[in-house]
Amino acid sequence: MLSRISLGSAQFGLDYGIANSTGKVKKSELRLIFKKALHCGINTIDTAIDYEDSESNIGDLKPIKFNIVTKLPKVPSNCINIGDWVKDNVSNSLKKLNVPSLYGILLHRPFDIKKYKDLYNELNKIKESGAVKKIGISIYSPSELDDLLPTYQFDLIQTPLNIFDRRIVDSGWLRRLSDLGIEIHTRSCFLQGLLLLKKHERPLFFDRWSNIFDKWDSFLLESNNDPVGVCLKYPLSFKSINRVIIGVDGYKQFNQILHNVDNINELSTPNIKANDYKLINPSEWVFK
């Protein structure tokens, strides 16, 4: 089970997260997380060029035993040569990450592939060079797959999936991706930590979805299950999902996850889902 966990790294470079009270993960804690991860069989890291100094913080710890997936940012509007842009970004990432090759390179903005006609070919060239094993996209909504998958072939897709946000399953895309032999990584299993907050800790912004949160709170109360375990169990219960990316703010949370994965079989998952984009997409959250 643990080998299907991937370490998310937005928190290694950014001071972010609705439930994050401690800021960016400290170097000393990162070292402990890496050591313990390898010891437990967790050997995948998800990062992105856009996560500020996440790549170099990972690279400082010589992550040679990890399979690393990173993401190319939005292509800048003044980009003159897309091939050079791809090569330069990949070579900079390899340098920062301190590794000879990457497991995967994803587009952080998938629609760039339609906008820049050479981008797909350049990604394939990078793959042929051996610098990257798999190419793919990181999506925000399954509709991006409707648009792109008939035309392009990808090896790896990253998508959000959690108790509330089941779009990748309900759209039929999870099954289709698996049938196509595409590797699937899911992120956001704690919905940025929102699913782990107690009722009194949730910002007022979420009051408009109180009917959904009431169901979630009641389930946790009645089942006496740990929300960390329930949130992990949901994506891990799909055999076709190759990696479930988890974000942590520190070593303590990482250990809490390891402990919960150990006990996952005893847990149940509720049938609650939310379709409102304003709730399930953290970039839509507005706090005054």
C-beta of 20 vs 43, nearer to ligand NAP: 20
The reply to whether 10 sits near ligand NAP by the rule CB under 6 A is yes
| CA nearest neighbour of 135 among 115, 154, 110 | 154
DSSP 75: P
Tokens of 93: 């990432």
The reply to whether 13 sits near ligand NAP by the rule CB under 6 A is no
Name the minimum Å distance from CB 9 to ligand NAP.
8
- One of 1, 2, 19, 272 touching ligand NAP (CB under 6 A): 19
What is the distance of C-alpha 112 from the center of its chain?
Answer: 20
Q: Which residues contact 130 (CB under 8 A, 6 or more apart)?
A: 101
Whether 248 and 254 have beta carbons less than 8 Å apart is answered as yes
Whether 163 and 194 have beta carbons less than 8 Å apart is answered as no
Cα separation, 235 vs 188, whole angstroms? 10
> Which residues inside 105-124 make contact with ligand NAP, applying CB under 6 A?
none
Name the minimum Å distance from CB 81 to ligand NAP.
25
The reply to whether 229 sits near ligand NAP by the rule CB under 6 A is no
The reply to whether 138 sits near ligand NAP by the rule CB under 6 A is yes
Name the minimum Å distance from CB 256 to ligand NAP.
5
The reply to whether 136 sits near ligand NAP by the rule CB under 6 A is no
The reply to whether 228 sits near ligand NAP by the rule CB under 6 A is yes
> Which residues inside 256-275 make contact with ligand NAP, applying CB under 6 A?
256-257
- One of 63, 104, 110, 193 touching ligand NAP (CB under 6 A): 193
The SS3 of residue 274 is coil
The reply to whether 209 sits near ligand NAP by the rule CB under 6 A is no
DSSP 5: E
C-beta of 83 vs 277, nearer to ligand NAP: 277
Whether 155 and 104 have beta carbons less than 8 Å apart is answered as yes
The reply to whether 142 sits near ligand NAP by the rule CB under 6 A is no
| CA nearest neighbour of 158 among 52, 245, 38, 281 | 245
Whether 47 and 9 have beta carbons less than 8 Å apart is answered as yes
Q: Can you give the binding site for ligand NAP, defined by CB under 6 A?
A: 8, 10-11, 14, 16-17, 19-20, 48, 138, 187-193, 196, 228, 246-249, 253, 256-257, 282-283
